[in-house]
Every structure is written in structure tokens, then in C-alpha cells.
Structure 1
Amino acid sequence: MNLLERVYQYSVNVVEGNIVAGKKHRQAAARFLNDLERSIYDKDCYFYFDNDELEEFNEWASLFKHTKGVIAGQHIQLTDFQLFLAANIICFKKKENNYRKISSVYIQLARKNAKSQFLAILSSYIAFLSDQVEEVYISGWMKEQSDIVYQEILKQLERVPSFAGKYKTSYNRIHHLKSGSIIRALSREARQFGEGTNPSLAILDEYHTHLTSEIMESLEEGMGARANSLSVIITTAGRNLNAPCKAEYDYCSKVVDPDNPVDNDSYFVAICELDEGDDPFDESLWMKANPIAATYPEGMESIRKRAKKAKDAADAMPSYLTKRMNIWVSAQEKGYLDLDKWSTCLWEAPIDITNRKVYLGLDLATKQDLCSLGIVIPLGNGRFYVDSHSFIPNESLESRIQSDRAPFRQWLREGLLTMTDGAVTDYSYIIDHIEKIVRDNKWKVLEIGYDPHDATYLSQEMSEKGYTMVEVKQNIATQHEPLTEFQEKVLKKEAVHSGNGLLTWSIGNAITVNNSDDRIKLSKAKSTERIDPIASVINAFSRAMHGNETIDYNKMFLSKGFSF
């Protein structure tokens, strides 16, 4: 089977579902098959497929050795996916001048899928084998990012003995002596981002980190004098939905979609990602975002480790989704609490919370979503122990898993979440849970602060059982003081917790809005995921912060496993 047959069969397998692939990658494979058919059977087609170019690129790649991983030192053998990229990018050519049909490329892959390796091969291939003076620029927002591909090129070249004396390096520049071509790393950080350049190949690596499009615009402006130029964006998904990369991703999603009227025949798009509704912890789907890493045991194990961390620590979830599953996730840059600061408040030793005076908080949200119970226990010396427990109707569980992309089943197993019968939360479960934990821990509940929205029945029931119920309105006047006071407690490590993953996840989701006086409140409208657990804790803390209880310091300090 020759290389074109390999790429053809790979594309057919992707389209027909024999290879696990996401929707946009299937669209890209179908697009290739359509272009190949046009080039062969349509006499009026303006381009053709150059099979010799694909063979030459593959032969060039085979000169180099893997520089990383378990097969470091072995000669590179391009995978079918890498050949698919090369076939699309460099092998379709215009009949009138033999220039490449493709002038722009957008590739979005999860990490550890040989992006740097492929870019390094492409860079040296264009720079070293051309009969013209080529200028290749690798551009990152920061110098460290630009250097990744550049250093990969150097390592590849240095391991080919026959290349000795055919190039020289200096100041982040590789100079090919025969052709005069150069390969250079640029960065905005070093104020080097394309002024006066004339790129034939411009690579923007990890474009999701670029805060503006100035590097791309500068390089593309320099390409104006090049007749056969190529710009390549290669990236993982990111967490800044306002970044230029997200806008490019949205545009490219339309380009590759056959049902969308946006048509750009000179733009090649390869987006490998999980589809909407996919379970990010389902190993059978990982190949959608990892077309190389998910094909060998070590790659799968690396993803598996990241998945476990995301399950165990909710603050690791956004990184796992963006870097390993290639899903765009909101960064929540105006988040209420810094999760790094919150993690420093983790109290690993057991804390005796029995026989305590306790403040509880309720956030009932809507009956179809999470309802949460917040727990705040004064420990003395201005310190508080905080925790939460949440409730979800069983008929909402699957939709919540798909829409929130969060490990709800894990939290059920850990006892952080209770599933109630039916399509809406049965408040009797909440009442029974409160009664049980109060009884088991021998607590004296001083007050229960609650959001009055949709809480009339539960409030009446709890009042009849002897609990003091206090309305906590969800407005700036009521929320500003407890929100800012709780922030201060976290910064001072005076709000300790035991690592409740569901609570941590909700803190990562929570953002605030402010008025003209910079007073703040939690915003459920602007928080894209659930914030009910932290909202319930704030409702409890709003009452606890004003408490003036006498503390038994001997009991506190002598309790098992507790010390400061």
C-alpha cells in the first residue's frame, strides 16, 4: 500500500466510524476525500494531488529520530494521522503554477500528540529542500513557547550525521547554507514578532495563549510578497473565550462544516476534540482528541493519570478538559476565590467536629438542579471549618454530567452528593439529611441561613422542628460583607476544609458582579457551571461571622488530630 492509499484508507475509516473520531475530524476527512475525488475525476478542477510530494515528505521525516518518550532514538515513522496532515497541507497543488492550494492551516490537538515533532519536520522540509530562500518563523506569545518547536528542530538536525556542516545556528536562528533559508524563533515577549520579515512559513504555536492577534497579523502582512506562503496555527483548546484563537476556532468550525455556507478552499482545518455530550472520562472516546497518544499504552496511561487527577481534584478539571480532551472551557477570570489559595486551607489531619455549635446554610437553586447544604463550624481564634453536601434528582444526573462535564458519579461515591428520586429534588431528603448529621455529630445548630427563593415549604418544616431559620437575601447589600470576609479568611488560612471536591469545583465556577461602589455578590447568571455549594456555605457564613459564642479552648486544642 503506497502512502496515498494509506491516507485514503485512513480517511475512509474515520468517516465510516472504523476509527474513533470527533465530528469535526470526520468532516475534515470527508473534505479530503471530496478534494481527492475532484482532483482525479473533475477535468475542470483547478488543483491536483502530488503523490511524489507526500513520498518525499515521508522520506525526509524518516531521516530524523524521536527525541522524547519511550521510543527516543528510534527513526521517525509517520503515523497515518501525520500523513493525513501532510497530504492535506502540502500535496494539493494548483495546476497553473504548482503552488500549494492550502495557504492557511488550523490544527487543534490535545497535548502529547507529537505537534512539535510534526512542526519541526515541516519547518526543516520547507527550509532545506527549497531552491528559493525561505524564511520560516515559529512564533509564541512568550519566548519559552517559541523555543519548544525551535529546539525540537535543532535536536532533530543534530542527530543526522549527514547534515553536519550544512547549517549553522546563532541567536535563535538556523541558517541553511546551500539555499540561504532561515528558521527563526520569534516572540512578542522579546519584542520580536515579525517586523521586516518575509515569511514563507509562519507557525503560531499554542495560539490559545496569545492575548491579541498582533503576531499573526504582523507575519501575514509580511507574507504579501510571497507567492507560495503558508501560515500554520497549531494549538490545544484554551480557557480564554475572548482570545483570538477562540474566534479562529469558531471560524474554522464553520469552514470544515459542509452544511455551513462559509467556504474557504485554501484553509485546511483539523480539529480533534470530544463532541458535545461525550463523557471526558470514557477511555473509548479519548482518541477523538488524541489521535496519536491514544494509540499506544504509554500515551493512554499518561491520559489516565490526568483523568484521575481531574476526578480527585476539581480544580484540575479545566486543565484536563482543555489540554487532554481539547475542549474550550471558560477561564472564569473574574472568579470569586483563587483556587490555589483555597488549596492551602486544606486540613489533612482529622478534625473532631462532634459536639460543636454549628451554622448551616441552604441554597435550593431550582428543584431540577443542585440543592446544597453549607456547614460552617466556629473553631475559635477567628477560624472556621467549612463543608457542604449537595442533592440532585436522579432524572437530572445524566444531563448534568453532559452539560457540566463534571464527575458527579465520583462525588456520589464519595458521599458528597445525594441522589433523590424523581425529576425534581424532594426536599424531604434534605430535611432527613440535616436531622441525621446533626444527630450523629451531636451538633447544636445555632441558625440556618437560607435563600428565600423557592424555600417556603422547607423553611416552615425546619422551623416546626425547632431550628432558627434566617433569610439571607441574594443581593449586594446582604452578600458583600460575608463574601469579602470569607475571602479574607481564606487568604489568612482561617477557613479550613477537608478537600470536598464538589465544593472546590463550585468555587472554581463562582464569579461575582459588582456595583458602582465595588460591592459584590455572587452571580449565577454569569457563572456557567453550578455554584450552589459555595452559595450555601456563604449563606451559613453570613450568620457565623456575626456569632459571639464562648469557645471551649481546651476541647478545641486537645481534640484528636487538631493543632495549629
Structure 2
Amino acid sequence: MIHQKYVDDYIHLYETGKIKLNKERILLIEYLRKYVLNRGDLYFDDEMIENCIKFGEKWYFPLQPFQKFLIAFVFLFYKNNHRVFYRKHLWMLGRGGGKNGLISVITHFLISELHGIEEYNISVVANSEEQAKTSPDEVHKTIKRHEILQKAFKTTLTQTVSKKTGSVLKFRTSNGETKDGLRDGAVVFDEIHQYESNKDVRVHISGLGKKPNPREFYIGTDGYVRDGFLDKLKEKAMKVLNGEARPNALFPFICKLDDESEVEDPSNWEKANPMLSEPRSEYAQGLFETIKEEYEDLEDDPSNREEFMTKRMNLPVTDLERSVAKWEEIEATNQPMPNLLGRECIGCIDFASIRDFAACGLVFKHEGKYPFITHSFARKEFVDKYYSYSKKHDAEMAGKRKFAPIREWEKQGLLTVVDEPTINPQHIVNWFVEMRKYYNIKKIVGDNFRMEILRTLLEEAGFEVEVIRNPRAIHSLLAPRVETGFANQLFIFGDNPLMRWYTNNVLVVIKKDGNKEYQKKEPIRRKTDGFQCFVYGLYRVDELSDYNLEESLDALDALNF
């Protein structure tokens, strides 16, 4: 076995429970022991490793154990010819993990006389000039701050040159021209998730090999381009880790959550971002607080969840999740309810369970808009448990009441709390019977599960009933109408905070086939019954006329023929 101080230290941190590693890094340790560290033909250049670390900590920042671990493998060589063992390095970490900072240190060191290879030029490549300049700019600013460094390096906004070795560090864009014929010693590809293919990568690495010890660094966080360059690179990484590829085909350092559910425990976040491991530096603690705030914000606005999981946790979520509408669009439903007496409407029903909430409603057409009158029923036991309905002065429960002020909504007449083992379906039937006195209910729509309970009761009361066999299918069908309706303020709920709450709790999930479903942001407390009820009404709203029959007859009677 070959040993290296910083490699052994990092593995020891994991084995003693000081740090948490994701599956890929656990596999990395096993793979290193099985295929790399047990070899007799390799050696770590400890002097070069120490020089690089000291260089980074003197001119940049204190290096964390995982960064020293990564540096060690940059300087792992064959004994017989002193060539680098790893030409390709893949570093994938959550945003804020210090990828660019570490690349600044390493690239600055590699062009220096401490590395000692003349004209060891390095290009930093990214899709945008702004991103490509990140590390070269940091090197430039560091040199500008220190007179000693200015004696060794000549730096401008476009490149840094070592006076001793003639090595040049510069940035390039992946879509730039005149790439052929580059004589680089190393190439850094930043934000690799944005590469759709390896076409541009091949051009940039074509000049490698003309200098000793060529290196390629692929750094970044996961992204949204699927089946592209990054996915192929990840496949290669897994083959290496599983012993299915040449051991030195790639050095894969991949940090991510193992499962989406792990995000709920902040102690797991270091799996995606090793900068967050204890003890944290001042920078890392600030980063942790920032990520925590972003995570807490998702409870009220989950529209950023995909971005958070992809960029912070390095784990693209399988389904793209979105709020059904912006809060400003939901607020815009607070329009005065027009006079709808005598008008045609579609009745609609939804309840997730007769043990918690049920919603019923009437959808109208009126001057190109869709007014919605609704009422809900809730079980007392449920709202006591989750919203502190009965506890008026319990400070511990204040947050629950604020989450859903059931008592306030009850006072406003928006819902009825019933003290029953289950919500009696007759309450819903009675509501429609009462509404029939004022409006012309053409039919009542609900899905198969709900109508199994209610259909007979409603038909006995004289209503036509339509059963939706596949309610999820109509979500995708109606999604364009729902999006357009909110965006153009076509939905009228009146001043109904309960309906706004229902709507804000809806999560739009885009399935693999592109179809959309309306689900919940949180399965228990965040109810969506009123919104689902409204969607069922929209399903048949085109059967309604946009005029009042009685008003039309009155107008005809008024005409003097």
C-alpha cells in the first residue's frame, strides 16, 4: 500500500464518523484501496503536494481536508517515467463548495516555478466569458494584492504569465474560434453541465500531450441538460468506481445527496457540499446559513425547489416541480363577484379524505371570465391536530393557527367545521340543494372515487352527475387553460383567503412524458381540495353559455315590436 498524509487523513475522517460521505465517495475510497493505493508502481510527490498546499494557504485561503485530498491526486505519478497517473479529474460539488477557488490555487501553482515545467499553459473554458474568467480573475486579483507575486508573474485582465516558466493562464469560451493548435499543459472545463456534447471539449484537449504531465479538470454542479456531455462523464465515473473501466480513466470526486428525502436533514447537506463538514470555517458557516434560508423559503415558494436540489444538493429532481401560479396571480383572483343569480354553472366536488377536508363549488362563465363560488367542510379532530383550531391561547400552537387560520375562515363563512368521525356526505348534498335555489346547476362533476360515495345521494336530490374516470389525465388537458387563466386574471374567487391558500398549496409536477399533474406541496397540512374542485368544474365549463337566460327574456319582453 502507498500512503499519503492528506489522503489517509481524509479517509480517517470518514471511517471515524467525523464526516458524512455520499455513495459515490464511499465507492471512491473502496476503489482507491482496491485499484490504486495497493499498487507498487505509483508514488505521491509529497514535496509537490506540500508546496501546492502551502502556496494556496499563503496567498489564497485555508484549505479544507477534501481540498488537500484532491490536490494529492493531482500529483500522483508512475515511478518509472514520472508521468501523472490521472490525466482527467472530475469534481462535482454543490454550489458554494469552493471548486473555482481550488482551481485558482492549482492553476496558479501549475504555471509557477514551483511546478517547474516551462510553458505549461492552462486554458479555463466555459460556455460564457463571465464564467470562464472566474478563476483567472481570482488569480489576477491575488497577484495585484501582493508585491511579491508581482515579481514572479505578469498579469492583465486577459492572462497571467509566469516570468520564470513562461507559462500562461488564460480563459476561453467553449464556442470561440481559433482553438486548434493550442499547446496547453492543462485545460479546465467549468460549468460542465452546460455542454450538450463533447465536440468543443475535443477541440480544446487536442493540443494536450505536447507538454509533460497533461491534465484535464472537469468541474461544476449538475444541471438540466440530460443525455449530454456531463451524463456521459458521470457514466464513465461510475464505471471507474465499479471497476469496469481502466483505473486511471478518470478521478471522480462526486458529492451529492443519495436521495431527495435527505434534504430534510441539514446534517446530510455535507454529502453534496464537503465545505459544510464540521468544524466549519467562517466562510462555510456563512454558506450553511445561506443554504438554510434558501431551503426554508421553499416551504412558501417551492418553485425554486428544482434549482435548489440541482445546484445546492447536486441532485436534479426527476420531476420538475412548480407552483401552479405566482402569488401575485393568485392574489389577482380577489375580484368582486359579479351578479350570478339565475346563471348556469357546473357543480364540482373534491375531497382527499372524508376524514379531513371536503370542498364543493360552482364554476360560471361571465364576460370571458370564470367566477367560482365554493364552500368547504373540515373535521374538528383534524383541524385541532394540525391547525390548533380549538386552542385559542396556546403560544406553542400559534404557528399552527397562523399556518391555516381555520377559525377565522369559519367566521367568514368560507368553511364549516363538523365534529364527526367522518364528514357526512349529506352536508355536501345539502349545500348544492341550497345553491340550486339561486343558480342553474347543469350537472355536478367529480372523480370516480368521490362519486362512489356521493353519486346516489346527488341523483336522488335531482342532480345530473358526471364521473371523471381518470382525473389525472384532465390535469394535463386543462393545464394550458389554468396557466392562461391565472396569467390573464380570468379567475374570480372573490375575497376568499381559503381558496387562495388551497391554490398556493398546489404543486405542478411535470412527468417524464411531459404531462402535468396537480399535487400538494406537503401531503398533510397543505390542502388543495378547493383548487382540485375548481379544476373539475373547468373540465365542463365550456358547456355553459356566457349569458343569463332570464335577463335575455326580460330584454325581449321590453322590446316594442
Whether the TM-score (by the shorter chain) exceeds 0.5 is yes
Task: Compute the displacement of 1:135 (Å).
Answer: 1.7
Amino acid at match of 1:64: W
Q: Distance in 1 between matches of 2:43 and 2:36?
A: 8
Aligned residue among 278, 283, 295 for 1:307: 295
- CA 1:477/1:186 → structure 2, altered by over 3 Å: closer, same or farther? same
Task: Compute the displacement of 1:244 (Å).
Answer: 1.7
- Tell me, yes or no, if structure 1 residue 261 matches structure 2 residue 261: no
Output one character per residue of 1:375-416: Cα deviation in whole Å (capped at 9) or x when no partner: 785595534478999x9xx9xxxxxxxxxxxxxxx9999569
Task: Compute the displacement of 1:214 (Å).
Answer: 2.2
- CA 1:49/1:478 → structure 2, altered by over 3 Å: closer, same or farther? closer
Output one character per residue of 1:170-202: Cα deviation in whole Å (capped at 9) or x when no partner: 56222223222111111135x248333232211
Q: Distance in 1 between matches of 2:148 and 2:324?
A: 50
Q: Distance in 1 between matches of 2:507 and 2:49?
A: 50
Task: Compute the displacement of 1:114 (Å).
Answer: 1.1
Aligned to 2:415: none
- CA 1:432/1:475 → structure 2, altered by over 3 Å: closer, same or farther? closer
Match runs of 1:78-477 below 5 Å: 78-88=63-73, 90-129=74-113, 130-170=116-156, 172-189=158-175, 191-192=176-177, 194-257=179-242, 261-276=244-259, 278-294=261-277, 295=280, 296-330=284-318, 342=326, 344-347=328-331, 380-384=366-370, 414=403, 435=428, 446=441, 447-452=443-448, 457-458=452-453, 460-461=455-456, 463-464=458-459, 466=461, 468-472=464-468
Task: Compute the displacement of 1:102 (Å).
Answer: 0.6
Give the % identical residues. Answer: 15
Q: Distance in 1 between matches of 2:427 and 2:224?
A: 37
Amino acid at match of 2:11: S
Larger mean Cα displacement after TM superposition, 534-543 or 307-316 = 534-543
Task: Compute the displacement of 1:324 (Å).
Answer: 1.2
- CA 1:537/1:322 → structure 2, altered by over 3 Å: closer, same or farther? farther
Q: Any unmatched runs of 5+ in structure 1?
A: 40-44, 66-75, 395-409, 417-427, 514-521, 552-564
CA contact (8 A) 2:104 2:136 kept: yes
- Tell me, yes or no, if structure 1 residue 540 matches structure 2 residue 540: no
- CA 1:35/1:255 → structure 2, altered by over 3 Å: closer, same or farther? closer
Task: Compute the displacement of 1:354 (Å).
Answer: 13
Output one character per residue of 1:403-452: Cα deviation in whole Å (capped at 9) or x when no partner: xxxxxxx9999569xxxxxxxxxxx978769839969x989894543455
Aligned to 1:493: 489
- CA 1:352/1:256 → structure 2, altered by over 3 Å: closer, same or farther? farther
Task: Compute the displacement of 1:37 (Å).
Answer: 4.2
1:38 counterpart SS class: coil
- CA 1:381/1:182 → structure 2, altered by over 3 Å: closer, same or farther? farther
Amino acid at match of 2:508: I
CA contact (8 A) 1:107 1:235 kept: yes
Aligned to 1:507: 508
- CA 1:449/1:224 → structure 2, altered by over 3 Å: closer, same or farther? farther
Q: Normalising to structure 2: TM-score of the pair?
A: 0.71
Question: How many residue pairs are counted as aligned between the two chains?
Answer: 482
CA contact (8 A) 1:12 1:29 kept: no
- Tell me, yes or no, if structure 1 residue 50 matches structure 2 residue 20: no
- CA 1:477/1:339 → structure 2, altered by over 3 Å: closer, same or farther? closer
Amino acid at match of 2:544: G
Q: Distance in 2 between matches of 1:373 and 1:149?
A: 56
CA contact (8 A) 1:136 1:201 kept: yes
- CA 1:364/1:432 → structure 2, altered by over 3 Å: closer, same or farther? closer
Amino acid at match of 2:198: S
Output one character per residue of 1:440-488: Cα deviation in whole Å (capped at 9) or x when no partner: x989894543455x66624635635746432456699988974443343
Amino acid at match of 2:69: F
Q: Normalising to structure 1: TM-score of the pair?
A: 0.71
Output one character per residue of 1:135-187: Cα deviation in whole Å (capped at 9) or x when no partner: 21111112222122222222222222211143334562222232221111111
Q: Distance in 2 between matches of 1:437 and 1:274?
A: 51
Task: Compute the displacement of 1:538 (Å).
Answer: 4.0
Q: Distance in 1 between matches of 2:11 and 2:375?
A: 49
CA contact (8 A) 2:4 2:44 kept: no
Could you say what the CA RMSD is over the residues aligned between the two structures, in angstroms? 4.7
Task: Compute the displacement of 1:511 (Å).
Answer: 7.4
CA contact (8 A) 1:362 1:374 kept: yes
Output one character per residue of 1:223-250: Cα deviation in whole Å (capped at 9) or x when no partner: 2534421111111122232332122123
- CA 1:388/1:169 → structure 2, altered by over 3 Å: closer, same or farther? farther
Amino acid at match of 2:110: I
Amino acid at match of 2:10: Y
Q: Distance in 1 between matches of 2:265 and 2:363?
A: 38
Aligned to 1:24: 24
Amino acid at match of 1:147: K
Task: Compute the displacement of 1:24 (Å).
Answer: 1.1
Aligned to 1:14: 14
1:93 counterpart SS class: strand
Output one character per residue of 1:499-552: Cα deviation in whole Å (capped at 9) or x when no partner: 658867632526776xxxxxxxx467xxxx99x98877543312235434679x
Q: Distance in 2 between matches of 1:304 and 1:231?
A: 34
Aligned to 2:411: none
